[in-house]
């Protein structure tokens, strides 16, 4: 470590260096070879909520979220090693930092070497990526959820089914796929209009979500068709019991835009691994069972291979 005179000289050099860095609004932090902070620009003060004098001399990891530091210590160690060995710098993202008030925020960081007389420094340009991450998360959410009911759509359903099948195999359990179609929806939609129909679908979605367990997935795949993934079941009796609760949840009339509306549902069930070993097969067979239930006028109906 440099002595006091050397440190003062270094700080004078850095003052001139940071005068240039203050023209950017991004956070700039300079650290020495021991990864201690030796200089920050105004952008970094604003970004982290520290005054310059409060942060100088601290390890740069002080700016990293505690949880991230503990659980990503191997990544941080690797980045430190790369920084010391690299001469061309690099950029990395998904580093979770923390402000002085404890708030966490995602960043990406560009690192380069700053060569000053008698001292090897590293310059970190730190960018808050909160807006970018939130926008990406919002786009992902919209791509995976039904815009009307906010339920998982077909894309997310397939993902949940594949994950559920893997868990069923791991824990020696079974999985139920419930295909549900509302019986009186089209006449209601035609008679009262699409706004009433949309509100009814939203109300049905809420009842279904309130009826099933947290481990289950209720999805809308279009129109008046809903699919429920039942996890952690032991067999067909568990699936039938769950779907009977669903049928019962729809028995009370819905109050929609000042009207009292009644609907029922036709429901078909397929069980993994009894009826199929992949999502496409299970959905197809549950769909067949649902149509069988609609034709026979009874629900729920378990898929059988001997259907006529």
Answer yes or no: same fold for 4-133 and 145-302: no
For residue 14, say if its preceding peptide bond is cis, omega within 30 degrees of 0: no
pLDDT at 14: 58
pLDDT, one tens digit per residue, over 28-82 is 998 888 889 988 889 999 999 999 899 999 999 999 999 999 999 898 888 888 8
Please say whether the beta carbons of 40 and 27 come within 8 A. yes
**How many other C-beta atoms are found inside a 10 Å radius of the C-beta of residue 22?**
13
C-alpha 183 chain-centroid distance: 34
pLDDT at 300: 80
Helical segments of the chain, H only: 4-21, 42-48, 52-55, 66-71, 73-85, 130-144, 154-171, 185-192, 194-211, 236-249, 279-296
- Rounded to the nearest 10 degrees, the angle between the axes of helix 185-192 and helix 194-211 is 140
pTM equals: 0.78
Q: Is the pLDDT of residue 279 over 70?
A: yes
For the chain, domain boundaries: 4-133, 145-302
Residues whose CB falls within 8 Å of the CB of residue 281, separated by 6 or more in sequence, listed in order: 270, 275
Beta bridge mates, 48: none
Residue given tokens 């779907």 in the structure block: 243
| Beta-strand pair 174-182/265-272 | antiparallel
User: CATH number of the domain at 4-133, please?
Assistant: 3.30.450.20
pLDDT at 166: 96
Q: Positive or negative, the Cα torsion across 271, 274, 278, 283?
A: negative
Q: Which two tokens mark 226?
A: 């809903």
Say which CATH class 145-302 falls into: alpha beta
| Beta-strand pair 301-302/265-272 | parallel
How far is Cα 220 from Cα 182, in angstroms, rounded to an integer? 12
Q: Give, in order, the Cα–Cα distances in Å from 36 to each of 15, 63, 123, 166.
A: 17, 11, 12, 46
pLDDT at 1: 46
Q: Which region among 4-8, 41-45, 160-164, 174-178 has the lowest average model confidence (pLDDT)? A: 4-8
Average pLDDT over residues 180-186: 92
pLDDT, one tens digit per residue, over 199-255 is 999 999 999 999 999 999 999 999 999 999 999 999 999 999 999 999 999 999 999
Of 176, 171, 194, nearest to 236 by C-alpha is: 176
Beta bridge mates, 181: 225, 266
- pLDDT band at residue 86, thresholds of 50, 70 and 90? confident
Residue given tokens 């609760």 in the structure block: 245
pLDDT, one tens digit per residue, over 154-167 is 999 999 999 999 99
């Amino acid at each position: 470590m440099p002595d006091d005179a050397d440190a003062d000289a270094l700080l004078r050099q850095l003052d001139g260096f940071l005068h240039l860095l203050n023209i950017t609004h991004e956070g700039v932090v300079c650290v020495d070879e021991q990864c201690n902070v030796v200089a920050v620009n105004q952008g970094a003060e604003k970004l982290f909520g520290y005054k310059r004098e409060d942060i100088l001399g601290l390890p740069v990891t002080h700016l990293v979220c505690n949880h991230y530091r503990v659980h990503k210590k191997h990544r941080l160690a690797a980045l430190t090693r790369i920084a010391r060995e690299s001469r061309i710098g690099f950029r990395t993202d998904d580093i979770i930092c923390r402000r002085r008030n404890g708030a966490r925020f995602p960043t990406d960081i560009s690192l380069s070497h700053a060569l000053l007389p008698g001292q090897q420094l590293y310059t970190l340009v730190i960018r808050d990526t909160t807006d970018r991450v939130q926008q990406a998360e919002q786009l992902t959410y919209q791509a995976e959820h039904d815009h009307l009911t906010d339920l998982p759509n077909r894309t997310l359903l397939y993902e949940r089914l594949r994950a559920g099948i893997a868990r069923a195999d791991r824990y020696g359990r079974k999985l139920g796929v419930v295909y549900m179609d509302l019986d009186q929806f089209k006449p209601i939609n035609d008679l009262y209009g699409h706004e009433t129909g949309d509100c009814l679908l939203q109300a049905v979605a809420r009842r279904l979500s309130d009826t099933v367990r947290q481990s289950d997935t209720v999805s809308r795949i279009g129109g008046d068709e809903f699919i429920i993934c039942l996890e952690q079941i032991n067999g067909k009796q568990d699936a039938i019991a769950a779907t009977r609760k669903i049928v019962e949840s729809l028995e009370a009339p819905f109050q929609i835009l000042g009207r009292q509306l009644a609907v029922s549902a036709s429901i078909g069930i397929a069980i993994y691994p009894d009826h199929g070993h992949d999502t496409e097969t299970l959905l197809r067979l549950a769909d067949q069972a649902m149509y069988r239930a609609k034709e026979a006028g009874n629900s729920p109906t378990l898929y059988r291979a001997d259907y006529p």
